[in-house]
Each structure stands twice: as C-alpha cells, then as structure tokens.
Structure 1
Amino acid sequence: MLKNVYKNTRRFNYPITLSFMLMGICGAVQAEQQPPKLVLQITVDQLRADLPYRYQDRFVKNGFNYLFDNGVVYKDAHHPHANTETIVGHVTLATGATPATHGLIANMWFDRKAQRQVYNIEDDNYVLLSKGASVDKDTEIDPTQKAANVEGRSPTNIIGSTFADELSISTNGKAKVFGVSVKDRGAVSLAGHSGKAFWFSKQAGEFVTSNYYYQAYPSWVEDWNDKGYIKQFAGTQWQLLNKKDTYLFGNDDDKAWEMDMAGYGRTFPHAFGSASSKYFTTLLTVSPVGDEMTVDFAKALVKAEDIGDDDITDYLAISLSATDYIGHFFGASSLESEDNILRLDRTLADLFEFIDEHVGLANTVIVLSADHGGPEVPGYLNEKNIYGEYVPRTDWEQSDEVKAVKKLLRINERLVEAFSPPYIYLDMDTIAKTDFPPAMVQDLLVAELNKREEIFTAIASHKLESGNFPDTPVYQAVFNNHSQGRSGDIYLVFKPHDFINDLEGLTVTATHGSPWNYDTHVPIIFVGKDIAAKNVNRRVETIDLAPTLSALLNIKAPSASEGKVLVEVVDR
C-alpha cells in the first residue's frame, strides 16, 4: 500500500533572526534584494490546469494549497505551440522559446539524412553509465522510448540556452544545477546543457545518467540505488487513499476504454506484481509511486550536493511523470486520475516540508507548471453526449488521398516517405523527378486531406515558411511548431476530441498532442521570496516562464527566449 508521508501537524518554519528584526527599513530593503538560495522548478507531466481545482476540497494544507495561497497563480496559461508533447513542452518551459526556435518539435521526428525516426534527446556520443539500463522494447510503455534506436542521451539537440544554462553562465558555473525525473527527456531538458540530469531506468530499476554528465556515478547515487527503494512495493498494490464513496469518480472504476496491461487491471486495487516480473518497474510508474520515488531521489540529491547552502542561487528541476502515464492508461476523468492527484498533493507537501527544513521556503522560489494538458477519453465524452472518437493510424502512402495525387501527377514511385505524427514527410527524390515544385505537391495533397472527416485542417509547410497563412490561433500554433529541417511537409490537425490512440503499435486510452485548449492549458504558479500572492486571469504563455525567472534573478534571459516577463512576479 502506498504510504502517506504527509504529517498534518507539521507547520512551515520561516526563521527570522534577531539581527533582521533590528535592521530597520534600509536593512529590510537590502534583504529583499538578496537572491533566493534555490529555484525549485516543478513540472507535472500532463497536468491540465483545471484538474487540481476539481479535488481541492480534499487537499492537505501545504501541498497544492501552499502554492494557491501564497503564489502568483496564472489561471489562463497556455503553451503556444500545436504539438503538445512531453519534450516540446519541457524545452519550451526551459528556453522561453517556441519549438520553431528551440527545435524540439516532437517526441520523435523523421530525420531525412538518417532515413529513420529519431528520439528527441538521443545521442550516440554519450552512453548510459549503468549496464542493463537500455530501453526494453518489449515492456516499455512509452512508445517514443520503445521506438528509439540510439540509447545514448544528451541535451545537444536543444537549440539555444535554457534558464539553467543562463544561471550557470551568470555564476561562472558555481550554481548547482540539476534535473530529475522518471523520464529522461523530463530531466535532460530542464537541466539544460550545463546542468546534471538523472532519470529512472525501468529496465535497470534505478536512477541513471549518461557520460555527458559524469564519467562515474557520485557515491550518493550509488547509495540510493543500492538501498533498493522500489523493493518495498514488491507484492503490493496501489490502493485508494480514501473511502471510495468520497471520490467524484467513485462509481466509475471500471470503464471499457481503460487500459489493462500485464494484469494491472482496470479497477482498484492495482497490483504491481513481484519484483522479478518484467513489468514490475513499469507498473510502478503508472501509479503515484513514480512521483514519490522521484521526490525521494531528489531529497537525497539536495542533501548530498548541499543544495542551497551558500549565497549562490542553485537550481533543481523535478519533473513528475505519474500523472501522464495514468492519463494515458485511464484518462483524465477517472478514479485512478483522481486518486493520483490527491496523492500528488501529499507528495508536494512532503517535498515542500523537506525544502523548508534543508533550505528554507523563505529562501526558495518555486515555480510549478506542466509540459502539456490532456484530452478527455472519447468514451467518457460520448457518455455525456459530446462528440469524440479515436482516429485510426493511417498508412498514408496507401490512402485514397495520396493515390489521387499520384495519379494526377503521374507518379508511380513512393510519394510519402514517412508519417511521424503530426507530420507527413514527402519523398523529395520522387518529387524531383517530376515537373512539379514541392509546394504544388503539398498543396494538392492538402486539398485532398482536408476532405477527410477527422481532419480539421492540413497545413503545408511552404505556407508556414512564407508566412502566407490565415491569422488564426490554430495556424499560429502550427507555425510556432515548425522548424525547418526537422518538421515535415504537411501538419495534420485533427478535430477537437479526435486523436490517434495507436502509438507505434501501443494502444492507449488517451493521447495528447493537439493545439486545442485541453492540451495547451496548464498551470503556471510562482511562489517564494518577495512574491506577493495574487490570482491573474490574463492569458499568458509558457514561453513567459523562463524570462520571468531570469528577471527575478537579474540575469539575462535564455538566448532564444521569445516570452514576456510576468510583471506580477517581479514587480515590488
């Protein structure tokens, strides 16, 4: 059974020294100008902005409610790009730039030079330090990992600097900079080029890194891995935190659309199985254990690396992945999602209590956001008489639309080189053998694709590159996602509530990745030193987060940052 580590009797301490009390007005002003000892950036994977408010009546005092009560809460914050996937959102938060600039346009994209799909942070120049930590292609639930061919990892595909990089630059490398997550891309992206990143290997059952960061593990990492944190969950189950009749979705524990993997089941309790099961570590991450484990590792990092123990601001990014995996398995409106949010609240409270003890919340700036939101499951919507359906994955080369264009252009060879959602890549060698320019071929295929019922719009890349497209939010979001050399020739936008749920052969319950509000809407909350609590309903964007942190610390913004400084955070 999962443990509730939150202590209800604990109160946060805000130590005020006698010298501070005697300072007077001038001294107080100087104290306010002192930078924080720590910037703690928390990214909750697939945390749609409305979800915490659904269950706030059952939150503990110092989890989400600590943020809501003490922070600047932006209630209308959105990602400005169309392909709302994990790496895209993380790097946008880190750089303050859109994917059109930072280059991470998708979890995977088709590389024309390599003639294959590439994984966003793959790098064969840097191998993992742990033996047996490679991706298990039979048990990995993350289809982007499952399809990756290169096992090395680094941030080299990120174009431009991140906030973490700029903090390192401004302190001549003296700031301690770390990123931690279950997902490699969640840790690597936020740690930037200059920090250190650790992530959980389901195959090895431990936190790992690559030799981009270290030539050998620090002793504290080996100690954490050796203690066998995950072994305590062998033979146990994910059980409900509270009585079933107290849940909003208490009567909805068994839905036909929910995913059952390796006997995990569609109803509570969900059994993790034995430690020897090849699915054991995978199933742990499809539960609140994944986040509890990540926070436990982060605590060890804070203590071992002396985070926040001097006058130089340190940076710790923690990306929590359980909400995403649970959303993919069971959907946002499910009993599993509800219980997870309640447990996440307690995990945050535990983390904040720890930070208060070891650094001091009065010396810490916390910013919480998400890499993307998430859709409702079509079956759930249909129960409410709302349209929504799964879109079958299509072999576009064999589709009627492509065949029609090939017939018109008298093309006998392959026209579609690859489909890496949301992009169709055309075969430029085939087009070069015709008398038709690529732009015309794109336009002809777009006209055919737009006849399909499930497609809201198909957008040709040449329109984006020329700036010749309608001034609408959807087109602008697709433009913000377009990076020449990585993006495909045609971007497919499906209708609201329609999405492909077959990802590289893995059928899931729900999948994000659209430009629609349910996928773009995320929380942005700043809490900490000299930040006055306020709710803000003005629409802001996730590209605003990194430049705001930079302004707060009086350092330059990331090199390609496009966002605006959020004045409510920095104004005194």
Structure 2
Amino acid sequence: MKYYTFILALFFSIVMPGYTLFSQVSQNEAKKPKLIVGVVVDQMRYDYLTKFSNKYGEGGFKKLEREGHNFKNNYLNYVPTKTAPGHASIYTGTTPSVHGIINNSWYNKKLKKIEYCVNDPNVSPVGTGSKVERHSPNNLLVETIGDANTIATNGKGKTISIALKSRAAILSGGKKADAAYWFRGKGQGGWITSSYYTEQLPEWVRKFNESEKVDIYLDTWNTLLPIESYTESTRDNTSFERGFNGKEKVTFPYNLKALAPENGNYDILKYTPFGNSLTLDFALAALENEALGKDEFTDFLLISFSSTDYIGHNFGVNAIETEDAYLRLDRDIERMLLELNKKVGKENYTLFLTADHGALENSNFLKSEGIAASYFKEGSFKSDLKTKMFALYKDVNVIEDISNNQIYFNKEKIKELGLTVEELTKNILIFLNDYPMIAKALSRKQILSQEFTSTKAQYIQKGFHKERGGDIYYVLEQNTAVYAQSGSGHGSLYEYDSHIPLLFYGARIKKGETNERTYSTSIVATIAEIIDLKIPDTASNLSLKCIKL
C-alpha cells in the first residue's frame, strides 16, 4: 500500500504539480516575502566585518554571515564614493551617469552655484520650524526599486525610508516613497520630513518626538567593553583624531550632555553610536505603526545608519571610537533581527546589509606607519590652475568652477576671448597630468565618446553625468586625502573606498558565501527577482546568485 501511495504522489508531482506535497514545499520556499529591509551602514569598509569579528556577538553581523549569504568581494564601480551617489546607486541599480546624483552637492551650471543633492525650493519642511530642510528626491532622474514596487502594487506596497541624513533617507526611498524621515538635531532633536511626502507628521511620529526618547541618549558615551580590550584599534587619544569641542583630550568617557551646547546640541548624537540606536528605535516604531509586512503586498523598510560615517570622519578608521561604534551597531542589528522575527516572522522578510562607501585611513597615520600618503590642498591647486590660466590667457575667468574633482568652463568668456573649448581643454589636461598627486584626468569629450579598458577611466565614466558634469574630470593618486588632517575621509575609486560589505538574509536566501567580484548595482535586480517584480529599465539586470528557487 505504501508503494502505491508513493507512486501516486510521484505521478501527481509530475502531472499535476499544483496539488502535490513536493510542489507545495517548492512553492513555500519560493513564497514572496512580505517585507524587504534594506540596511545601509554609512562608511562601512568590508574589513570591519573581519577586523572586529572576535568581539561581535552571535546574533548580529555573525548571524547574517552564518545564516545568510556573504558577498565577500563586493564593490562600488564608479566615483565619487560618497553618501548621496552611494544610496542612489544601491536603490536604483545604476550609476551616477544614469541616475544623476553625481555627489552630495554639485555645481549647477544653469543656476551657477553649488546645489545640495536633495534641495528643492518648491517644498516646505514638515515637523520643524527650520526653513533650511526644503528637501525632496526631484534631482533623482530614474526610479528606485521601491518606486517600481509602488507602481506594480498600485500603491498598496509601502516604502518607508529612515536615516539621520536627509540625502540618505530621500535617495533611498525614491520619488514614490510613502515617507522619508530624517533627524533634525540642533535644539530640536526630532524626526522630520517635507511637504513632498505629507503636509503634517503622522500621529505616531509626533508621539515619538514628544516622548523625548532622544534625551535618554544624551548621556555618557563610554566603551561597551573594557577599553584595554580594544586591541584592533590605536591607543586612546592620538593626534589623528578630531574629537569634540570643549574636551581637550580625545579620550573616553564623553559626557554628551555637558558637551552638547558646544557641539550642535542634539547634533552631537550623530557623532556617537547612539545616533544609530535612535535611528533603529524610530525604524522599529515605523515597522509597528505603519503595519509593514502585514498583508500580501510587499513593503520596503529602508534604514541607513549614518553615525558610523560621522564617527569615522571625526575619529578615523583606526580609532577606539570607531571600533566601539561597530560593536554597538552589532548589538543593534541583533535587536533589529529579533524584532523583525517577532513582528513579521523570519520566513516573511528578506534583508540586505551593505554600505554606501568605505574610507581611507588617516594620511598622517599611514605616514607614521611608513606608508606613502599625501594631502591634496585644494585651495593651492585652484590657485595654481588660475595662475596658469592667467599666464596663458591673461584672464582667470575662463574657469567658472572647480569642485568635486571637476572643472567647469566659462563658455561665454571663452567665446569673448576668441578661444576654443578644445584649446582650453588641451592646455588644462597638460597642466593636470604634470600636477603632483593627480593620477588621471579626462576631458568631457573623452568620457562621453570613448570606450575604456582601464578601471580608473571606467569608474570616471560611470560617475559622470552628461548634463551635470564638468568639462574635465580628474582623480587623485592612491592614499591621497582632501579632508582635514584628522579623522578619515572617502570619495576615491581605490579599494579602501570601494570594497564594501554585502549580506543577504531571510526569506528566499540560500546560505553561503561568494568570492566572485560583485557590484552593489546588482542589489535591485536581486530584490526584483525575489519579489517577482519587473526590473526597472535603467537598472542592471545582473541578479546575484543567492536566491533559493
């Protein structure tokens, strides 16, 4: 009898798969998740996964690695490696050459001024009396994965995006996000948005802000573990760290309440691990109050942990403060996973964790270790270039702007002087190719018309937008910094800035690790495959090999 039962089951599995036990298991495995959780850790180098591994708990980063899929050689494939292009590229599946977010700010050739990437004078701040938070995604030129999901579900699939930084929240969510929230520090200490999304804050957001939970974190920042155990970092109090105003030595502990008045009041939290904890608190409140993952339409909860970037810029890659931030973030990730499992169910959500960029070690630190490193003084460079222009043309105004490693020409002045763009381009390229610490320079014409084999040129090409880009683009030599001589920075095409983590975890994700080179622009195609969504036309269609079929 058992034999005939098996034969019957086998028959149905072949002829009528919709009604068999075998098929039912397969369908359950391929069930569309109810929630996608996107986590971006600002300024997280890939080696932070391994460097601090012996101090991570079992329920955070290690759980994602152990039970999820780890893409160990994941990279950004464009310059500049900055926050705004990073978030835009992750969620659109393409590069600045297409989505148009070429930096955090850029020179607007029509308005002839520097413009913030999410600036929009046609919207109003919501939830704050400040007039400077007029922000929207209008400068983003293509759709995000969240936008595509909203269209496919006729608006029934929600997208909620949260970050301390407005650019991170807004560019992750896209143009059709139900909400994007960012943190207003100063004397306020609350989560805000703009009229692009809503005319007033939802009641749950107002209650969160009124709870004054933010004040709980305005306490003392001390190391999570005994400070002598932080052997992966340099000693406390080095000349490579910046620290806080009002504290002479850059040493633990930090009395945040006492230091706040001289450090932007509530803004000081951004420069501590508690900014990440507060972000998670708010994201979990959104999960609950927006009922994310509760129906058959897939929702998106997008979280950017920005404090790691502020801390890295302030203290540097090798500081105890940076290590402590990641140890505390590890605990927050564990807390996040526990809440997601409880509120949504592990089988009902898919999560990915990545970064928008990495970071360069402090150049003075590198030099102290005998490693060649330099500081590029942009002020001196601009002065030298203008001196050269005056020597050639007796007029420095042939150059309209120099910013973000791009040089913009003044076309009216060129015409007035009887010059040609070609002649000016040729002379500036000669100057740049001879200038110390500049590795490569390309003209606008070269970038837009040539096919390159070199990585540097390809990364420039993918980071250059034809409408917003300048007339010449240059990149600096390796280990060359352009920021202050304390803390760390980023923006280059080199490994320390472009090699970032990528972990997938949860529903429809098979366990494992991949050593093949991958790129963050494949995240969109992978999510689209997981939730059976059409890939946006402008996104890469290269899906990552981590999906259970």
Deviation at 1:249, TM superposition (A): 4.3
Match in the other structure for 1:125: 122
Deviation at 1:260, TM superposition (A): 2.6
Whether contact under 8 Å (1:244, 1:250) holds in the other structure is: no
Match in the other structure for 2:242: 259
Whether contact under 8 Å (1:79, 1:520) holds in the other structure is: yes
Match in the other structure for 1:444: 427
Deviation at 1:57, TM superposition (A): 1.2
Q: Does 1:547 align with 2:525?
A: yes
Whether contact under 8 Å (1:155, 1:188) holds in the other structure is: yes
Match in the other structure for 1:4: none
For residue 92 of structure 2, the aligned residue among 95, 102, 113 is 95
Could you list the per-position Cα deviations for residues 81-106 of structure 1 after superposition, in whole angstroms to 9, with x for gaps in the alignment?
Answer: 01000000100001001100000001
1:64-79 equivalence runs, <5 A: 64-79=61-76
Match in the other structure for 2:223: 240
Match in the other structure for 2:547: 570
**Structure 2 counterpart of 1:191, which letter?**
G
Could you list the per-position Cα deviations for residues 20-55 of structure 1 after superposition, in whole angstroms to 9, with x for gaps in the alignment?
Answer: xx9832321222232101100000000011112111
Whether contact under 8 Å (1:406, 1:415) holds in the other structure is: no
Match in the other structure for 1:366: 351
Match in the other structure for 1:206: 190
Deviation at 1:66, TM superposition (A): 1.2
Higher share in helix: 2
Match in the other structure for 1:217: 201
Give the number of equivalent residue pairs. Answer: 527
Name structure 1 gaps, 5 residues minimum.
1-21, 136-150
Whether contact under 8 Å (2:183, 2:192) holds in the other structure is: yes
For residue 274 of structure 2, the aligned residue among 276, 289, 302 is 289
Tell me which structure has the larger Cα radius of gyration. Answer: 2
Whether contact under 8 Å (2:30, 2:548) holds in the other structure is: no
TM-score normalised to the size of structure 2? 0.92
Match in the other structure for 1:345: 330
Whether contact under 8 Å (2:246, 2:262) holds in the other structure is: no
Whether contact under 8 Å (1:81, 1:478) holds in the other structure is: yes
| C-alpha separation in 2, matches of 1:366 and 1:207 | 24
Could you list the per-position Cα deviations for residues 312-367 of structure 1 after superposition, in whole angstroms to 9, with x for gaps in the alignment?
Answer: 11110000011111110111111111111111100100011111110012211001
SS at match of 1:539: strand
Match in the other structure for 1:61: 58
Match in the other structure for 1:419: 402
Q: Does 1:32 align with 2:29?
A: yes
For residue 413 of structure 2, the aligned residue among 413, 425, 430 is 430
Deviation at 1:436, TM superposition (A): 3.2
Change (3 A) 1:387 1:563: farther
Change (3 A) 1:521 1:397: closer
Change (3 A) 1:571 1:299: closer
For residue 211 of structure 2, the aligned residue among 220, 227, 241 is 227
| C-alpha separation in 2, matches of 1:530 and 1:462 | 45
TM-score normalised to the size of structure 1? 0.89
For residue 323 of structure 1, the aligned residue among 298, 305, 308 is 308
Question: Percent identity among equivalent residues?
Answer: 29
SS at match of 1:522: coil
**Structure 2 counterpart of 1:197, which letter?**
A
For residue 108 of structure 2, the aligned residue among 108, 111, 119 is 111
Deviation at 1:165, TM superposition (A): 0.5
SS at match of 1:31: helix
Q: Does 1:457 align with 2:454?
A: no
Match in the other structure for 2:362: 377
| C-alpha separation in 2, matches of 1:431 and 1:244 | 60
For residue 357 of structure 1, the aligned residue among 331, 336, 342 is 342
SS at match of 1:273: helix
| C-alpha separation in 2, matches of 1:477 and 1:489 | 16
Whether contact under 8 Å (1:155, 1:193) holds in the other structure is: yes
